[in-house]
Structure 1
């Protein structure tokens, strides 16, 4: 087990190093100049100031020198200084991490639990009415872009049914104590989390339905029923444990897609997380901040892949390595 974990850790480190180099090259080869962007925001600047900023940001050095300096700083835990926000990239990320993690974790849990539950119920009667409803839901979920769903929800709950807040994470100036603040954040979280989770609910429900139908036709399920076990035990203890494996696999593999979707959701709902920060960084050509966000997202994806492997070992004891 220790050897297996060490091997996976080495692969993760090499993968992160490759991601660092690739992200650095892609961003620096992309069109745009951060100094020019800052000049536009200032309404213009002198050639002397432009040269000073280019030297201060290290953009006057060859690309391979910039890459070496960047990798050395990252190994020391330094992700650089933001060009636009004039602050440490690490501090900027840590300020936004809680909001993004709250949104992503809630959306993933809702999608996994609701999608699996709908898929299991639909698998009990594959040709029934409820199964057809789940199929229709999956088609709508696949077809609707995340930003479109968010805009529809904003229109619906801003004018037609003003029940939930449609912007920000907290109500400005609200002072209701700890539990009042928790309730306020929860209300603001409903629409962004549902928007992000909706497309994955559709995917997980279809996948769980197909896996559950296959599991219910297996020999060990017929044996369990022949022993006289109740249908609920057969369904949830024996069949579900095997049928949920593909869902767990897809969940771990799609965590990066969820983070990408969070960028659009946070922009639509003005949610103060990493997605909104990355959107602003792209517009302002803020290379260090964008690289820091991509590095953090890569680490989260690698961690999720490791947790997925561990979940496999817990769910299915047959998997030993």
Structure 2
């Protein structure tokens, strides 16, 4: 139920509610930007400050994708749960946690890995919204500014970077297939 609700809510709403709750009400996290204005510029201090400012945008960007992964993982695990090798593992006396993690979850991860590879390309579209809400200077905001300024060269460069990210993620997904399922191997 939680994943269905989180998946249905727009990304910008999570960002705005995160700002209201964690930055304004509790004052735990910064409101926006990439660094604190007027902070001392030591190398470790700047890295920690950037990481501190990255917490809310990263969580906001990952929430809707995480809800989708949870739904796909659950559906895939429900398909694997009644299979014979799971029943055999239980009959051998393996604990329920080990059966779930080693047998059910491992065999259910192939659709999740596939979905992850497909979602990496759409991450740039969500990043535009999140970077705008949090005033974060990133590739999504740069792409939005390139479109509004009609800077074709910059936009093509960003599309090339995004395409390379998709190609590399597809390669990584293919490698992960072989790790998760030993039956999948390199063609002779």
Runs of at least 5 residues in structure 1 that lack an aligned partner in the other structure = 1-134
1:213 aligns with 2:78: yes
Pairing 1:114-129 to 2, within 5 Å after superposition: none
Measure how far apart 1:252 and its partner are. 0.6
Residue 317 (structure 1) aligned to one of 177, 182, 187: 182
> Distance between the aligned counterparts of 1:243 and 1:156, measured in 2?
36
Instruction: Specify the alignment match of 2:98 in structure 1.
Output: 233
Instruction: Specify the alignment match of 1:196 in structure 2.
Output: 61
Q: Aligned pair in 2 of structure 1 residues 274, 222: CA closer, same or farther (>3 Å)?
A: same
> Distance between the aligned counterparts of 1:159 and 1:233, measured in 2?
43
1:184 aligns with 2:49: yes
1:138 aligns with 2:3: yes
The answer to whether the 8 A contact 1:192-1:266 is kept is yes
Cα deviation 1:93-123 (Å, max 9, x = unaligned): xxxxxxxxxxxxxxxxxxxxxxxxxxxxxxx
The answer to whether the 8 A contact 1:141-1:200 is kept is no
Pairing 1:65-214 to 2, within 5 Å after superposition: 135=1, 137-175=2-40, 177-214=42-79
> Distance between the aligned counterparts of 2:24 and 2:103, measured in 1?
47
Measure how far apart 1:176 and its partner are. 6.6
> Distance between the aligned counterparts of 1:201 and 1:148, measured in 2?
16
Measure how far apart 1:294 and its partner are. 1.0
The answer to whether the 8 A contact 1:168-1:271 is kept is yes
TM-score relative to the length of structure 1: 0.55
Measure how far apart 1:172 and its partner are. 2.5
> Distance between the aligned counterparts of 2:16 and 2:144, measured in 1?
17
Residue 298 (structure 1) aligned to one of 158, 163, 167: 163
Q: CA RMSD in A?
A: 1.5
Q: Higher RCO, 1 or 2 (CA under 8 Å, sep at least 6)?
A: 1
Q: Aligned pair in 2 of structure 1 residues 283, 176: CA closer, same or farther (>3 Å)?
A: closer
Cα deviation 1:44-76 (Å, max 9, x = unaligned): xxxxxxxxxxxxxxxxxxxxxxxxxxxxxxxxx
Query: Which structure: larger Rg?
Result: 1
TM-score relative to the length of structure 2: 0.92
Measure how far apart 1:233 and its partner are. 1.7
